[in-house]
């Protein structure tokens, strides 16, 4: 399945014949959940938005679903309130008096905090020190005590569970608990009640699996013909891999762009339900998510967070891939807690994701008139970005640029014009290394011996750079460094280090001990093409 379709995989499963044997009443007493949540101050059943404005995206009728929390400017802009409140509302008065605790870097924290406020109990929220201030301030405003602990979610969770045992509090998990799952499942109940006619599929964003497990368990009981399709980022595909292998799989690395679904391993209970009830998983690219964020803004003037736009991207990719026409589908827009700093990246990638912009590199001979010839070959296509630097030591100059496009044929024709005029042109549109880092380099290619190129994930906190430099410098020379804030808890940093082959094992050991996630880009064709001297 091509990246151009922005659908990377679908894993189909046959629903079990013994569906009726699922302990539905034990896990999902949804009528009780509805009653409990209805008692929450400010709750009202939301409406499924009509499809006007979305027919241009896919040929089927696309409805998008926003829950009560998302619809209210006074709430937490996320479905997480449902599960947290349902679990906490079932606690005894004694448990509520002892208080609750959770670990979260975002939406679950606000859901627990608001639920505690409504139920009159004390709440401690443990968040990583890398959590953006806007997020932990939002939790504080809801009356919870915020504790910033650890550089990662795992460290924050470990501390929260330790403190839970010491203080006798109740730990509120983000997804892997029957009461949390049932709370999220109220979304499925409301979809079924509001859409009485034919419904082909419901598309659900997937992180730990609580939302899709709850929706699937309810919908498959009352409308078994409706497909439940999960949607994950292609670099955070824990559920897809787990369903494919028939057991829970832990990811070594997780992409942080859609941080609301960035989990290394799905829940035990959620996986059990998904394995039985979910029809498939669609994986979408970061570019596709950005395109869906822009689509929602243009149609409804609402800005979704990346995880909140996942289902829209997945629904479009699925319908295009299967040529679905004349069917009703629902996409869950699960959250709108957008980090403002991330909007810059979204705007840069949205047109790429919608295939309205292409990122290219062309090699020009360093001779008079070549630049004008290049401009003539581009023709009437709109150039949206352009970078060029003269290199007196190079035979060819490198031009990095972006062009607005309307059709794939239009782009193909332009590239063919370049190639036929002996101007080598490379399409960088689907290469994340080029879009995240290399498009900002204009110094040309260099002859750097023994250079290793890695991408590190730096925690966004003071001292992260010095910790990195202490591990490698001055032992080895830093030959390349590019960092750009993208509004995430971890910063994507491209690093070049000169390490002789005989010292690689020592370098690897230090990199492992540093504690930062990292990956090699040494064999990335685009790095070798744009930054590496061809003589090396």
Catalytic residues: 80, 334
Long-range contacts of 415-423 (CB under 8 A, 24+ apart): 415/360, 417/377, 417/379, 418/362, 418/374, 418/377, 421/373, 421/377, 423/362, 423/363, 423/364, 423/373, 423/374, 423/377
- The CA–CA distances, whole Å, from 314 to 8, 192, 228, 320, 496 equal 10, 20, 12, 10, 36
Tokens of 40: 């929450």
The Cα 154–Cα 151 span in angstroms is 8
CB atoms within 10 A of CB 180: 31
CA angle 165, 166, 170 (to 5 degrees): 45
- The CA–CA distances, whole Å, from 182 to 77, 188, 216, 238 equal 19, 10, 10, 21
CB atoms within 10 A of CB 412: 12
CB atoms within 10 A of CB 400: 22
Tokens of 237: 């595909």
**Which DSSP string corresponds to 461-485?**
STTHHHHHHHHHTTTSEEEEEEE--
The Cα 536–Cα 476 span in angstroms is 19
Q: What are phi and psi of 326, to 5 degrees?
A: 70, 20
The Cα 271–Cα 370 span in angstroms is 58
Place of tokens 């230090």: 510
The Cα 334–Cα 304 span in angstroms is 8
Q: DSSP letter for 392, please.
A: T
């Amino acid at each position: 399945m091509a990246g151009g379709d922005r659908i990377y995989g679908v894993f189909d499963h046959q629903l079990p014949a013994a569906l009726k044997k699922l302990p539905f009443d034990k896990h999902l007493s949804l009528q009780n959940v509805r009653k409990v949540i209805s008692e929450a101050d400010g709750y009202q059943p939301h409406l499924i938005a009509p499809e006007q404005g979305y027919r241009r995206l896919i040929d089927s009728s696309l409805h998008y679903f926003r829950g009560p929390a998302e619809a209210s400017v006074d709430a937490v802009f996320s479905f997480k309130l449902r599960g947290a409140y349902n679990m906490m509302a079932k606690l005894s008065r004694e448990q509520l008096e002892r208080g609750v605790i959770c670990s979260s870097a975002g939406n679950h924290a606000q859901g627990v905090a608001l639920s505690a406020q409504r139920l009159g109990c004390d709440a401690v929220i443990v968040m990583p020190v890398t959590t953006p201030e806007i997020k932990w301030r939002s939790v504080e405003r809801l009356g919870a005590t915020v504790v910033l602990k650890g550089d990662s979610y795992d460290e924050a969770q470990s501390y929260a569970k330790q403190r839970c045992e010491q203080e006798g509090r109740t730990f509120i998990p983000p997804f892997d608990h029957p009461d949390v799952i049932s709370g999220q499942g109220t979304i499925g109940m409301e979809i079924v009640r509001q859409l009485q006619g034919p419904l082909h599929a419901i598309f659900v964003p997937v992180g730990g699996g609580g939302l899709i497990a709850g929706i699937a368990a309810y919908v498959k009981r009352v409308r078994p013909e409706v497909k439940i399709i999960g949607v994950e980022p292609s670099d955070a595909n824990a559920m897809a891999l787990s369903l494919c292998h028939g057991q829970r799989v832990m990811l070594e690395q997780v992409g942080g762009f859609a941080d609301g679904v960035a989990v290394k391993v799905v829940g035990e209970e959620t996986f059990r339900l998904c394995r039985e009830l979910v029809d498939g998983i669609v994986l979408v690219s970061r570019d596709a998510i950005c395109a869906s964020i822009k689509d929602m803004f243009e149609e409804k003037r609402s800005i979704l967070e990346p995880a909140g736009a996942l289902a829209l991207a997945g629904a479009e990719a699925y319908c295009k891939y299967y040529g679905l026409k004349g069917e009703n589908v629902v996409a869950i827009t699960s959250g709108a807690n957008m980090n403002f700093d991330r909007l810059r990246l979204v705007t840069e990638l949205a047109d790429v994701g919608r295939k309205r912009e292409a990122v290219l590199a062309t090699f020009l001979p360093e001779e008079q008139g070549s630049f004008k010839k290049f401009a003539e070959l581009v023709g009437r296509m709109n150039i949206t970005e352009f970078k060029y630097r003269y290199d007196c030591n190079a035979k060819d100059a490198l031009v990095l640029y972006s062009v607005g496009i309307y059709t794939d044929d239009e782009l193909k024709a332009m590239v063919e014009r370049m190639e036929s005029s002996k101007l080598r042109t490379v399409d960088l549109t689907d290469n994340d290394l080029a879009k995240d880092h290399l498009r900002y380099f204009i110094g040309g290619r260099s002859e750097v011996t023994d250079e290793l190129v890695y991408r590190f994930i730096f925690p966004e906190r003071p001292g992260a750079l010095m910790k990195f430099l202490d591990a490698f410098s001055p032992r080895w020379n830093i030959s390349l460094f590019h960092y750009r804030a993208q509004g995430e808890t971890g910063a994507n940093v491209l690093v070049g280090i000169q390490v002789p082959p005989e010292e690689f094992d020592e370098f690897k050991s230090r990199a492992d001990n540093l504690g930062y996630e990292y990956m090699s880009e040494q064999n990335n064709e685009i790095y070798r093409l744009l930054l590496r001297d061809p003589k090396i």
